[in-house]
Amino acid sequence: MSHRLKCRISDSLWDALQRETARTGDSLSHTVQHALSEALGLEHHSLFQVSTSGAVVKGVFKGCTSVGDLKSHGDFGLGTFEDLDGELVMLDGLCYQAGAGGVAAMAEDSWLVPFATATRFSADRTAVFDGIDTLETLQEKLDGLRPSQNIFAGLRIDGLFDRIDMRAACKAQPGEGLVEATSHQSEFGFDNIEGTLVGFWTPAYAKAIGVPGYHLHFISNDRTKGGHVLGLRAKRLTASLHLETDIHVGIPETQAFLEADLQDDPSKDLDVAEKGFVRDR
């Protein structure tokens, strides 16, 4: 639902609006709405994404923005680093790289990022979940917390994990796509570890942009361990959900992105790369 706004503004504001519409190419209505959203603090429900999942599937792994720039768009997020060099986890405004064996360390602002999703996390809904015996059980409980299948959501889940299985992508070789690159990933697990799941839920209709369904990374409370989540068990977890009302996608201007064939449906390859293979333990 939209409303018509009629008001008087100064000549200086009018001139500024005209300059902004000329710069962006947006309509006057869109420019005013964006400015009001920022002024009224509504931007914290905006999702910012670097590149697309379809591009990552095709092996577009070269960085197109920096960690420092990503942090200017949010304080919470996940992704990867240039050449698929480890897992990116951003929590409370700080960014970490999780690599082989789950070893995590602070990422430098100058490091480049080919794909990431970020937001300014503010919980809209919270719940406590008991008896989480699998990742699928957690996802089913999160399904009940989400209000719709058609809206993006940020997810923060805190607690003590009896067991968590993860992987970290290892640096890709030239010419590899996502499935090939993650076939030689590092897989590992930890018992009795406290930490936070940082994640997003993306609607199916956005499968060429984001990772459809749940996408979760982990960082330990001491910030020394992390990775992409493959499986978990926990007795009790506290989940917070942040609803995203709009999404902004930063399209890379790299030669690799401009020349990539992005017409295919990336869902199957994403499913293989995201779920990985958890060995019996």
Q: Is the pLDDT assigned to residue 72 strictly greater than 80? A: yes
Q: Is the pLDDT assigned to residue 35 strictly greater than 80? A: no
Residue 249 CB burial class (10 angstroms; 0-12, 13-18, ≥19): middle
- Measured CA to CA, the distance from residue 64 to residue 82 in angstroms comes to 9
pLDDT of residue 263: 81
Paired with 98 in beta bridges are 87, 104
Give the model's confidence band at 276: pLDDT under 50 very low, under 70 low, under 90 confident, else very high. low
The CATH code of the domain at 44-275 is 3.30.1330.80
Alpha-helical segments (H) within 90-233? 135-145, 178-182
* Residues 199, 242 contacting (CB under 8 angstroms): no
Task: Name the residue ranges covered by the structural domains of the chain.
Answer: 11-40, 44-275
> Which of 197, 198, 230, 201 minimizes the C-alpha distance to 213?
201
Rounded average pLDDT over 96-120: 96
What percent of the chain is modeled with pLDDT above 70?
A: 89
The pair of three-digit structure tokens given for residue 190, joined into one six-digit string: 């930890």
